[in-house]
């Protein structure tokens, strides 16, 4: 379990330079078209022996209207919300500007942890900026040079305690295993949510908007669907070039539920953005998936489960997102019953990894089925967030072991001792056992399928890790 760092700061502070240094390869797109580099990128960073996820945010601008800057600021807020720690980068040579002050305030209010870094500090020209930076009230600034690689040891020292805290959390989740084969701890009192009560469990006052991505082939009907949900043609008001490369988001209220919908291709097509930007955008579906909690894979009923659909659905699963499959243009289907049977058969055959994910038929054009889609999204999100108490898990595990004991490779029976849920979003479980490396795939699958059924967790990826007794 590693942590996520968001690099924030105003344009030109050196965020991308730092991102590239931490990620170690040139992931950034280089383009002279304005706006093209203003996006959110994610990479796996290495700093000494630390590994973590790093997000390079958009340039922060102080605009509060719906202009490009305003929207990019919102995207940045999103990145801040995804991060465990923010690295606020200043241009020490330029000193502290009013924009820096504005965002220092935003970070103080919004970010759980902030590390302040004065960049471009490779010479004496940075000294005045460093002194000003203290006044931001974000603690002592680190002195770094992203371009020259200076100050990386200080950054390492600042991140190490955070990394340790996350490692400790992970270790606690996989506590030392008891001696007996099955250990049943006291019920820890944590209650599973009643699935039927998913909607009641949603608390708009405290919850953030539910993050949804609508993905699918061109012409599947993504724009039509989103416009139908919005109830007006707001999406068609031309998004700016550059920003359309990214999964850009709209916050909406879907019959009382706050949701943030990420969309890409449909908007881009409508905005008629130049070819050049279009070609850089192959991965935007992927980006929408990364930022989403629930991914709606929208299929065209006439041509369902094409290669592209399968790929994006598989990606959503691998990224650990809750998935809802929606089949659009249902209004033009004649033999709906036969078609539905065919779809279900194809779904099971082509996407076994998404077993149990809801399949909803809709017509974006007429609006039919959208209530069911909304309910499926809410339920998928609830399941994705589900936590099962350790006591219930272990009661369940002992039943599973009795029904079908684990194998005995080379005559040595694998002992499953204890199980706990280590994480949610998506649900992840750890089983403490002897010889974890010898556990056959088929037995893991038996347990995963059993978890799905036993705790009613359809349509969400379930991660199961076997761990030996260290
Ligand atoms: P971003 O807009 O915050 O992502 O900034 P960039 O990473 O694109 O950097 C903006 C400019 O500052 C580029 O010309 C970089 O070469 C330059 N720059 C970045 N880091 C440093 C540094 O440590 N020292 C100096 N002198 N220039 C830097
Ligand atoms: P996108 O590329 O996925 O955003 O697809 P669009 O929303 O632009 O839709 C592509 C085409 O399919 C348009 O001609 C829409 O009018 C049509 N379309 C979208 N949804 C439906 C639907 O539910 N039924 C029918 N019959 N046509 C639809």
Q: pLDDT by residue (tens digit) across 78-101?
A: 778 888 899 999 999 999 988 788
Please give the backbone phi and psi of residue 468, each rounded to the nearest 5 degrees, phi first. -80, 175
Going by the DSSP 8-state scheme, the letter that residue 150 receives in this structure is B
* 377 in Cβ contact with 252 (< 8 Å): no
In CATH terms, the superfamily for domain 202-234+248-385 is P-loop containing nucleotide triphosphate hydrolases (3.40.50.300)
Atom 25 of ligand 2, nearest CA residue: 329
Burial 233-258 (b: 16+ CB within 10 A, else e): eebeeebbbbbbbbbbbbebebeebe
Q: What is the pLDDT of residue 311?
A: 84
From residue 198, give the alpha-carbon distance in Å to each of 213, 376, 386: 20, 10, 10
pTM, rounded to two decimals: 0.56
Q: pLDDT of 334-348, one tens digit each?
A: 999 999 999 999 998
Q: How far apart are CA 357 and CA 263, in angstroms?
A: 21
Instruction: Identify which ligand lies nearest to the alpha carbon of 7.
Output: 1
Could you give the residue range(s) of every CATH 3.40.50.300 domain in the chain? 4-171, 202-234+248-385
217 is in an annotated binding site: yes
121 is in an annotated binding site: yes
Instruction: Identify which ligand lies nearest to the alpha carbon of 92.
Output: 1
Atom 24 of ligand 2, nearest CA residue: 329
Pick the CATH number of 390-467 from 3.30.300.20, 3.40.50.10490, 3.40.30.10, 3.40.50.300: 3.30.300.20
ipTM: 0.56
- Reported as half-sphere exposure (CB side, CA atoms, 13 A), residue 157 has a value of 9
Question: 276 or 319: which carries more pLDDT confidence?
Answer: 319
Could you give the residue range(s) of every CATH 3.30.300.20 domain in the chain? 390-467
Q: pLDDT of 411-463, one tens digit each?
A: 888 889 888 888 888 898 988 888 888 888 899 999 998 998 899 887 788 98
119 is in an annotated binding site: yes
pLDDT-above-70 percentage for the chain: 74
Ligand 1 binding pocket includes 11 (Cβ within 6 Å): yes
Q: 4-171 in CATH: which number?
A: 3.40.50.300
Q: How far apart are the CA of 221 and the centre of ligand 2, in A?
A: 4
Ligand 1 binding pocket includes 146 (Cβ within 6 Å): yes
Ligand 1 binding pocket includes 338 (Cβ within 6 Å): no
Least confident of 103-107, 178-182, 289-293, 399-403: 178-182
Average pLDDT over residues 30-55: 66
| Residue 194 pLDDT greater than 50, yes or no | no
Q: How far apart are the CA of 272 and the centre of ligand 2, in A?
A: 17
Q: How far apart are CA 283 and CA 134, in angstroms?
A: 40
């Amino acid at each position: 379990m590693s942590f996520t760092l968001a690099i924030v700061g105003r344009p030109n502070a050196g965020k991308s330079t730092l991102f590239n240094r931490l990620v170690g390869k040139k992931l950034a797109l280089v383009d002279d078209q304005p706006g093209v580099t203003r996006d959110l990128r994610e990479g796996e960073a290495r700093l000494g022996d630390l590994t973590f996820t790093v997000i390079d945010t958009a340039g922060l601008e102080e605009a509060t209207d719906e202009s490009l800057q305003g929207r990019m600021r919102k995207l940045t807020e999103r990145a801040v919300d995804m991060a465990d720690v923010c690295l606020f980068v200043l241009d020490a040579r330029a000193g502290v500007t009013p924009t820096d002050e504005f965002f220092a305030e935003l970070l103080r209010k919004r970010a759980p942890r902030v590390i302040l870094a004065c960049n471009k500090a490779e010479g004496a020209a940075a000294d005045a900026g460093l002194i000003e930076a203290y006044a931001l009230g974000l603690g002592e600034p680190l002195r770094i040079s992203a371009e020259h690689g200076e100050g990386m040891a200080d950054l390492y020292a600042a991140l190490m305690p955070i990394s340790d805290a996350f490692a400790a959390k992970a270790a606690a989740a996989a506590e030392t295993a008891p001696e007996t084969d099955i250990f049943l701890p006291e019920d820890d009192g944590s209650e599973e949510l009643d699935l039927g009560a998913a909607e009641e469990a949603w608390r708009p006052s405290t919850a953030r908007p539910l993050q949804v991505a609508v993905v699918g082939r061109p012409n599947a009907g993504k724009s039509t669907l989103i416009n139908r949900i919005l109830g007006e043609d707001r999406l068609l008001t031309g998004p700016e070039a550059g920003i359309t490369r990214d999964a850009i988001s709209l916050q909406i209220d879907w019959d009382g539920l706050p949701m943030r919908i990420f969309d890409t291709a449909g908007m881009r097509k409508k905005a008629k953005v130049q070819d050049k930007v279009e070609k850089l955008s192959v991965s935007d579906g992927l980006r929408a998936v990364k930022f989403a909690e629930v991914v709606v894979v929208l299929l065209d009923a006439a041509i369902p489960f094409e290669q592209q659909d399968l790929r994006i659905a598989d990606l959503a699963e691998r990224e650990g997102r809750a998935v809802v499959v929606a089949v659009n243009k249902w209004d033009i289907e004649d033999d709906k019953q036969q078609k539905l049977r065919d779809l279900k058969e194809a779904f099971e055959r082509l996407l076994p990894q998404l077993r149990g994910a809801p399949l909803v038929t809709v017509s974006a054009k007429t609006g039919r089925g959208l209530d069911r889609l909304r309910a499926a999204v809410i339920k998928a999100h609830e399941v994705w967030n589900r936590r099962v108490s350790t006591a219930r898990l272990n009661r369940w595990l002992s039943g599973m072991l009795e029904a079908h004991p684990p194998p005995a490779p080379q005559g040595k029976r694998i002992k499953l001792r204890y199980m706990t849920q280590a994480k949610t979003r998506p649900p992840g479980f750890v089983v403490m056992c002897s010889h974890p490396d010898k556990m056959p795939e088929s037995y893991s699958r038996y347990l995963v399928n059993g978890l799905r059924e036993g705790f009613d967790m359809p349509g969400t990826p379930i991660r199961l890790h076997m761990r030996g007794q260290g």
